Structure formats: structure tokens, C-alpha cells
A and B are shown apart, each in its own frame.
Chain A
Amino acid sequence: MLRTLLNLKQAGVVGINRRNADYILRYNERSLYPLVDDKLRTKRLAIAAGIAVPELYGVIEIEHDIGNLPDIVSGHKDFVVKPAHGSGGNGIYVIIGRINDRYQHNNGSLLTEEDLEYHISNILSGMYSLGGQPDQALIEYRVKFDPLFESISYRGVPDIRTVVFRGIPVASMVRLPTRMSDGKANLHQGAVGAGIDLATGHTTNAVWQNHPVEQHPDTGANIRGFKIPHWDKLLTLASQCYELVGLGYLGVDVVLDRELGPLVLELNARPGLSIQIANGIGMQKRLDYIDQLTEIPVSAQERASLAQDLYLRI
């Protein structure tokens, strides 16, 4: 056990206590949390700053407005319903189409109007928000993910999580939904996480349920060596989010849309640490290096290339 501990230290693995004490508590001001915890505010900020996000179709804020749902989605065949204050991908319903009067859930089930309204009602009453606070339901554009990912994801949108420290990307991973994760892209729910070479945008090794894997568990396709399209643009986009909300230690979730390119899906003030397992390397050394920088480049582009430079050096 002691050897494991020393090895982990050696590998520069950041634990939850260190993340909370040294990064989140020091660099993330509490007053800024609502900017990322409320996805509606994040979205409005991003739109104002010219950062690409999935289009917002409508917001349902009170129980009475649930009746407006058919109007909001009338022009759209497919859409996503998500709680504004949700976390961990909970409470997100992805509707991929309609059959007669039913909504087609991406997990294969068919939902009636009533089912969907009950779900929205649950969202409003705070079922998915931290502390059960009353919430809002966002109805937005469903990302049509790049066909590139088709072979390595199962029902759902793979997203790319980047941890950004003081505006400089530190590590990235692509999260691939599996049958087990029910289309969600969270590692603890069973998604596959694949580390990304920041310099080139190629996937490196992958983990599933804390075990290293080479193939996607459902599709059987090879995960390693996958080139993420628009990589440099995506990394710059992630860097930009630092100015957007001002959080020093930030998780940026980006999805790649077939037509629109990288879109910022959501931001996270307490990004998880599984990204280290996916990349097979600890973040400590890079975080320490950035922590000691006296000057951080002003432009997001420069920060992104600094990140690529750091990836090769440290």
C-alpha cells in the first residue's frame, strides 16, 4: 500500500483532497460558481462572448409553462431536455425523433407527452439540482455528432473534457458513451474515457471502469490513434472559457457537431480526476508548473499553444 502511495506521488496523480484544497478552493471563487452551475447563464455568457454553443430552443421555468413544450419543439424533430442546474449528466433526456405522438428517447424507449412533461416537472422541482433547489428546464439543439465517432460510441454524444488551469489546458479526454452508460458520457456511469495527446489531438490509451481498454466494449472498434477533428480550434475554445467565467480550475465539455464544429456544452467548476486515468498520467507536474508561472499569456490561442508545448515537455 505504501508503495502504491509513493508510486502515485511519483506519477504526479492529483487526489480529491489536493484538487479541492490546492486548486478549487484557491482558484475558484465561490461567487463565480453560479455562472457554471446554471447552464442557462453559461449559455447566455457564451453567446455574448461569441463562443459556439448548442442553440437554445426554449426554457421552461415554472410548472405552468410545461404546456408550452409542444410549441417550443414544434419546429424541431429532435432536441435535448436538460436541467439548468444538473450535474453528472443526470436528468438529461435526448429525444432523437418522433413516432406518431411519441417522443423517441435515445435509450430506445418511447415517451408519451405526459412522460416528458412529468420529467420536466421533476426537473423544475429540483430533483436533479444540487440541494433540491427549484430548477429550470432547458430545451436545446441536439448535437449531431461527427460520424467519425460512430464506430467508437454507443447511442449518445461523445464529448471532449478538457481541464483548464489558469486558462491553460492541462489535460483532455474524449468520453465515449457505452451501453452501460446509457448514452451518457460520464466515466463513473460506464462511459469509456480516452486520453488525448494535446499536441496532435490523437487519442492515446483508454479506460473503461478503471481498466485500460484498447477496443470500445460495445462496438469493438479500436480507440487508440483516433484523430480528433478541429483539434487546435477546440483547444483554443477551451482556453477561452477561462475568460468567460473567471474560474482558475475549470472543466470544459465540448462536443463536435457534424456541421457546426466544436460547441461548448457545459462548464464544470469541480471537474473530476478520472481524466488522469484516461490519459494514464497525473496532472500534478503540469499544474505545479502553471501554478508557478508569474505571467499567463493574454490570448487564448497563445495559451492553447503553451498547453501543447507543455504536453511535450512535461
Chain B
Amino acid sequence: MRQLHLLLLVIVLCAIGLGLATYKVTTLGLPLTASEKAEVWNVEARIIFRAKPDTSVKVSLPLLFNPSGYTILDEDFVAANYGLAIEQDDSGRTALWAKRRAEGKQLLFYRAIIYEDAEKTTDSGKPPVYPSIPDYPENFRPIIQGLLDKARQQSADTVSFAQQVIKQLNATSPAPELKLLLEHINNSRNLAKGIHWILAGARIPTRIIQGLRLEDGRRYSELESWIQVHNGKQWRTLNIKDGQEGLPSNFIIWQIGDQKAFSVEGGNEIGLQFSVAKTLRELVDIAESRAVLKGSHLMEFSLYSLPVQSQNVYKILLMVPLGAFVVVLMRNLIGIKTFGTFMPVLIALALRETELAWGLLLFCLIVGLGLLLRAYVDRLKLLLIPRLASVLTMVVLLMTSISVIMHKLGLEMGLSVALFPMVIMTMTIERMSLTWDEAGPAEAFKQGAGSLLVATIGYLVMNIHALQHLIFVFPELLLVVLAAMLLFGRYSGYRLTELWRFRALAKR
């Protein structure tokens, strides 16, 4: 009954620990190993203009809006003393900057850090309404009609129809009758808009999408336009230059439709520039930002939500259970004797700061000198507590003098001696000298060496960086450690040292 209870508890703990960790890896994308970095893109829109004197300034800029295949990890708006409002509706988002008075050159920034998701969502949306035929000017009407008729003859469906129109408009030697129309389109400097306008003549639903190619170091003076044609089922994207279908894989859609446009009121010499840069970012940061965007509250309660100072403390604290587990293994499975149960863990923590060889040396030095002084104090026949207090004082004095002397000798490692837990050192000295008196120096050294051995192994385990990262990012794995400890709590097999102890009995 008790065994079953324990087994169930262990299984539940393992399931929770491993389940949470798996969720964090697969869904939130937390990295299993440290220093895993991923590429993120820094996309920046830079608006520059000269403010007109004595007028208020209003700037509106369409913003990235749920770009398919990408996640916006972070956004920044930089503008000196401008009021900022962000408007959002079904068709997109716009940033509105406003200022009552501005003078001279004005500089506004919008910066987004975006991360490429694995999943690219296809925008099904609701089917668009068929556009009505635009009221073309008298002189264009026959030309457009001719263009559309020709395209209709050479195409099979909506998409190929649109492709034909695009090809004719982009032909290197366009048909002479199109010349007037092309001039008209070129005047407006917007080929996509022209295609949209002409295709509406065949009542084909189209929309313009604008965006950027994510290439490191690229600069754009304007967004690249593509035209999307609805074939009754979905939007198909066509290149407005050659009619080729499909977006490049590194293309990010900035805005869909052309309802919203960049505009500056109250300014001249207006310039807008987009730039793209690639940077690396810790996968953990990315996962954290994405979790927030996905509405997962798990990361809000992660250790990363703490101030960096406390994070560093917890990085160490979370390793202590692993150190304790080492003690469990060493004592209950191997059978090594130590002074105090968790003294080796505390020594191991101190070793982290001092480095192994130096730490062991300093530890032996202090305990050795402490034992000598303790032996001297013993002759004075002092009561227990005052004696402990005086040994503690001597330990502190010893640590101080070691630091100073080693510093003078140019050995900076001596300074880290202050990190040893002095109360633990005092108790170690006391217990070691008692063991010395009662069980002889051999036993005292045996237990002292055992303590240092366990401390060293604990230090080596706690210092595995991969493990530190794993436990810090997935603290729930400590539940698995807990489960292992619980199992060892019912371990009733032999200890390794007992095989030696009872060897005489094994011979029979």
C-alpha cells in the first residue's frame, strides 16, 4: 500500500515535471541547451521631413499587422515630443503621430523586431465582393476593353487572366494602343494600383499587398507592392512586374490593401525609408515574448520575470537540490561518510566562487589551522558555546589574514576565501576534532576526505552549464529530481561500502 502510494506519487511528479517541460519546449519553443540563438529581423521605418512653420504636424504610418509567418516580438516608436496613437481595425494598424508646433528637421522611427515562425497561416478570410466596373475616362475605355478582351482569349481562369494583363502592361515593347494608358499609369507611379484598376474592369476582385524582403542590410525607399487576385477560393499573389505567382520566402507583408497610406501633414521634403537588419537573439527571450503574445501565462511566472539580480541568485539556488541529490547518492548508495548531512553542498556552493583547486586548498588550510587552534583552546577547558564562538572568531580571523597575505603575495584567489560559510567551517572544525578525540585521527580524516569528495562531486555536478540552464529554464524538472529522491527514500538495498564491510559474510 505504502509502496503503491509512493510509486503513484513518483509517477505523478515525473508526469508534471516532464509534461510541463515538454510543453515549454514544443509549444513555447524554449531551448533545451544554453546559448541557443535564433535570427531575428530588425525592421525599421524612418520618417524624415521638414516641419512647416506655424502649423500642426500629423504623421500617419501604416504598421505591421499580424504578418503571416512572423511574430512581432517587440515594437518601438521613437519620436521626440510627439503624441502617439495607434489605430487598429480589420484592415490594419496605423500609427498616428501628432505635434502642435514643430520646427526644422523632424525624425520619427518605428522599429519592429520580428521572428520567423514555422507556421505560415494562409489567409482565407471571407470572399470579397465583386468590384463594379470603374468609370473609366472616355479615351481609355476602348483601350482597356481591348486589353481585357485580348487577355480573356489567352487565359483559362482568373489567375491566368490577371497574369496576361500584367504581362501586356509590362511588355518591353508594349502594343502601340496601350501607350496612352501606360503613360497614365506611370504618371501615378503606382503600377499595382493601375493593375487593380484595370482588372476591376473585368470585375475581378484584387487587392494590393505591400511588404519587404528580409535581407540583411537592405534599404527601401518604399514598400514593394504585389497584387493578389481572388480566384473564388483564395487569394493568389502575383508579381506586378512579370505576373509570376507566389511571394518570395523571405517576404513579410506589411499591409494588405491600400486604404491606409503614409502621409505627413504640415511638413515638406518628406522622406520615408525602410531598413532591414538581421540580429541574433537568445531563444529564451524570443520564447518569452511569443508566450506573452500567445496569451500563455506560464512564462509570466517564469524565473525570467524576476529582476536579473534575483535571477542570478535563483540560478544558484535551483542547483542546490541537485547537490543534495548527489549527497543522497553518495551517502545512501555509495556509503561515504561526511561531516553533517548538507555541509558538502554548502562547501560545493563556496567552491563555485573560488574554483575547485583553490577552494579545496583554502578549505584544508582553514580547517587545518582551525583544528590546531581548537586543540589549543581545548586545554583551557571552556564551555561548549563560548568555545564554539571563539573557534568561529578564529575562523573569521584566519579567513581575513589569508585574504590579506595572499593579496600581498599577488594571489587574488585568496580573496574568495570570504565566500566560505564560516559557521559551517566552525562546525566542521568542532565535529572533526570531536571525531578525532573519540574515534581517532583516521576516522576524522576519513570523514573529512569523504566530505571533500562529496563536495567536489557536488560542485562538478552543480557546475555543468547545460544542467544549470536546463533547471533554470525548466524548474519543473526539479519535480523529477524530487521523485528520484523519494524513490531513494525507500531504497533498502546495500550501500557500496557495505559490500566491503560485510565481505567476511559473503565468503560463506
CB-defined contacts of B506 to chain A, threshold 8 Å: 3-4, 7-8, 11, 13
Is B504 in contact with A17, judged by CB distance below 8 angstroms? no
Is B498 in contact with A16, judged by CB distance below 8 angstroms? yes
Q: How far is the CA of A88 from the CA of B383 in the complex (A)?
A: 22
Q: List 5 A-B contacts (CB under 8 A).
A: A8-B499, A17-B495, A127-B384, A207-B504, A282-B505
Given A5-B499, A16-B498, A125-B383, A22:B492 Cβ within 8 A: yes
Give B470-508 interface residues, CB cut-off 8 Å to A: 489-495, 498-499, 501-508
Give the dominant DSSP class at A's interface.
helix
Question: Is B439's CB within 8 Å of the partner chain A?
Answer: yes
Question: Is A297's CB within 8 Å of the partner chain B?
Answer: no
CB-defined contacts of A277 to chain B, threshold 8 Å: 501-502, 504-505
When C-beta atoms are compared, the residue in chain B nearest to A132 turns out to be B384
CB-defined contacts of B129 to chain A, threshold 8 Å: none
Is B502 in contact with A126, judged by CB distance below 8 angstroms? no
Is B503 in contact with A4, judged by CB distance below 8 angstroms? yes
Question: Is A58's CB within 8 Å of the partner chain B?
Answer: no
Is B384 in contact with A126, judged by CB distance below 8 angstroms? yes
Question: Is A90's CB within 8 Å of the partner chain B?
Answer: yes
A17-B332, A127-B384 known, 15 other contacts, Cβ within 8 Å: A4-B499, A4-B506, A7-B507, A8-B498, A13-B494, A13-B505, A13-B506, A16-B498, A17-B493, A17-B495, A22-B492, A114-B381, A126-B384, A189-B438, A280-B504
CB-defined contacts of A17 to chain B, threshold 8 Å: 332, 491-495
CB-defined contacts of B502 to chain A, threshold 8 Å: 8, 13, 15, 273, 276-277
Greatest chain B CB density within 10 A among A7, A90, A118, A280 is at A7
When C-beta atoms are compared, the residue in chain B nearest to A115 turns out to be B381
Question: Is B434's CB within 8 Å of the partner chain A?
Answer: yes
CB-defined contacts of B503 to chain A, threshold 8 Å: 4, 210
Is B493 in contact with A210, judged by CB distance below 8 angstroms? no
Greatest chain A CB density within 10 A among B385, B438, B502 is at B502
Is B381 in contact with A118, judged by CB distance below 8 angstroms? yes
Is B384 in contact with A15, judged by CB distance below 8 angstroms? no
Question: Is A211's CB within 8 Å of the partner chain B?
Answer: yes
Complex interface bits, B360-396 against A, C-beta within 8 A gives 1, otherwise 0: 0000000000000000000001011100000000000
CB-defined contacts of A122 to chain B, threshold 8 Å: 384
Q: How far is the CA of A3 from the CA of B506 in the complex (A)?
A: 9
Given A4-B499, A132-B384, A188-B439, A18:B493 Cβ within 8 A: yes
The 7 closest A-B pairs by CB, nearest first: A125-B384, A7-B506, A18-B492, A15-B494, A21-B492, A118-B381, A4-B499
Question: Is A306's CB within 8 Å of the partner chain B?
Answer: no
Is A276 in contact with B505, judged by CB distance below 8 angstroms? yes
Point out residues on A near B: beta carbons under 8 Å. Answer: 1, 3-5, 7-8, 11, 13, 15-18, 20-22, 63, 88, 90, 114, 118, 121-122, 125-127, 132, 188-189, 207, 210-212, 273, 276-277, 280-282
Q: How far is the CA of A21 from the CA of B503 in the complex (A)?
A: 22
Is B492 in contact with A5, judged by CB distance below 8 angstroms? no
Is A210 in contact with B383, judged by CB distance below 8 angstroms? no
Is B384 in contact with A211, judged by CB distance below 8 angstroms? no
Give B330-344 interface residues, CB cut-off 8 Å to A: 332, 335
Q: How far is the CA of A51 from the CA of B88 in the complex (A)?
A: 92
Q: How far is the CA of A212 from the CA of B503 in the complex (A)?
A: 11
Q: How far is the CA of A20 from the CA of B434 in the complex (A)?
A: 25
CB-defined contacts of B332 to chain A, threshold 8 Å: 17
Given A8-B494, A15-B493, A18-B493, A127:B434 Cβ within 8 A: yes
When C-beta atoms are compared, the residue in chain B nearest to A11 turns out to be B505
Is B492 in contact with A15, judged by CB distance below 8 angstroms? yes
Point out residues on B near A: beta carbons under 8 Å. Answer: 332, 335, 381, 383-385, 434, 438-439, 489-495, 498-499, 501-508
Q: How far is the CA of A114 from the CA of B381 in the complex (A)?
A: 10
Q: How far is the CA of A36 from the CA of B438 in the complex (A)?
A: 22
CB-defined contacts of B438 to chain A, threshold 8 Å: 88, 90, 189
Q: How far is the CA of A68 from the CA of B503 in the complex (A)?
A: 50
When C-beta atoms are compared, the residue in chain A nearest to B506 turns out to be A7
Is B495 in contact with A281, judged by CB distance below 8 angstroms? no
| Chain A min CB distance to B320 (Å) | 22
When C-beta atoms are compared, the residue in chain A nearest to B488 turns out to be A17
When C-beta atoms are compared, the residue in chain A nearest to B380 turns out to be A118
Partner of B495, one of A15, A90, A188, A189: A15
Q: How far is the CA of A7 from the CA of B492 in the complex (A)?
A: 16
CB-defined contacts of A63 to chain B, threshold 8 Å: 383
Partner of B508, one of A11, A210, A273: A11
Greatest chain B CB density within 10 A among A13, A121, A207 is at A13
CB-defined contacts of B384 to chain A, threshold 8 Å: 122, 125-127, 132
Q: How far is the CA of A88 from the CA of B499 in the complex (A)?
A: 23
Q: How far is the CA of A7 from the CA of B490 in the complex (A)?
A: 22
| Chain B min CB distance to A179 (Å) | 13
CB-defined contacts of A3 to chain B, threshold 8 Å: 506
CB-defined contacts of A276 to chain B, threshold 8 Å: 502, 505
Is A189 in contact with B439, judged by CB distance below 8 angstroms? yes
Q: How far is the CA of A20 from the CA of B494 in the complex (A)?
A: 12
CB-defined contacts of B335 to chain A, threshold 8 Å: 16
| Chain B min CB distance to A280 (Å) | 7
Q: How far is the CA of A21 from the CA of B2 in the complex (A)?
A: 12
Q: How far is the CA of A11 from the CA of B501 in the complex (A)?
A: 14
Partner of A21, one of B491, B495, B508: B491
Q: How far is the CA of A8 from the CA of B493 in the complex (A)?
A: 11
| Chain A min CB distance to B495 (Å) | 6
When C-beta atoms are compared, the residue in chain A nearest to B489 turns out to be A21
Given A15-B493, A16-B495, A17-B494, A280:B383 Cβ within 8 A: no
Partner of B501, one of A20, A90, A121, A210: A210
Partner of A8, one of B439, B492, B505: B505
Is A21 in contact with B499, judged by CB distance below 8 angstroms? no
| Chain B min CB distance to A116 (Å) | 11
CB-defined contacts of A114 to chain B, threshold 8 Å: 381
CB-defined contacts of B491 to chain A, threshold 8 Å: 17, 21
CB-defined contacts of A125 to chain B, threshold 8 Å: 383-385
CB-defined contacts of A189 to chain B, threshold 8 Å: 438-439
Is B505 in contact with A211, judged by CB distance below 8 angstroms? no
CB-defined contacts of A1 to chain B, threshold 8 Å: 499
CB-defined contacts of A118 to chain B, threshold 8 Å: 381
When C-beta atoms are compared, the residue in chain B nearest to A21 turns out to be B492
Q: How far is the CA of A6 from the CA of B489 in the complex (A)?
A: 22
When C-beta atoms are compared, the residue in chain A nearest to B383 turns out to be A125
| Chain A min CB distance to B227 (Å) | 76
Q: How far is the CA of A15 from the CA of B498 in the complex (A)?
A: 7
CB-defined contacts of A13 to chain B, threshold 8 Å: 494, 498, 502, 505-506
When C-beta atoms are compared, the residue in chain B nearest to A184 turns out to be B438
Q: How far is the CA of A152 from the CA of B502 in the complex (A)?
A: 24
Q: How far is the CA of A11 from the CA of B494 in the complex (A)?
A: 13
| Chain A min CB distance to B50 (Å) | 81
Is A211 in contact with B504, judged by CB distance below 8 angstroms? yes
CB-defined contacts of B489 to chain A, threshold 8 Å: 21
CB-defined contacts of B498 to chain A, threshold 8 Å: 8, 13, 15-16
| Chain A min CB distance to B339 (Å) | 14
Q: How far is the CA of A211 from the CA of B505 in the complex (A)?
A: 10
| Chain A min CB distance to B139 (Å) | 100
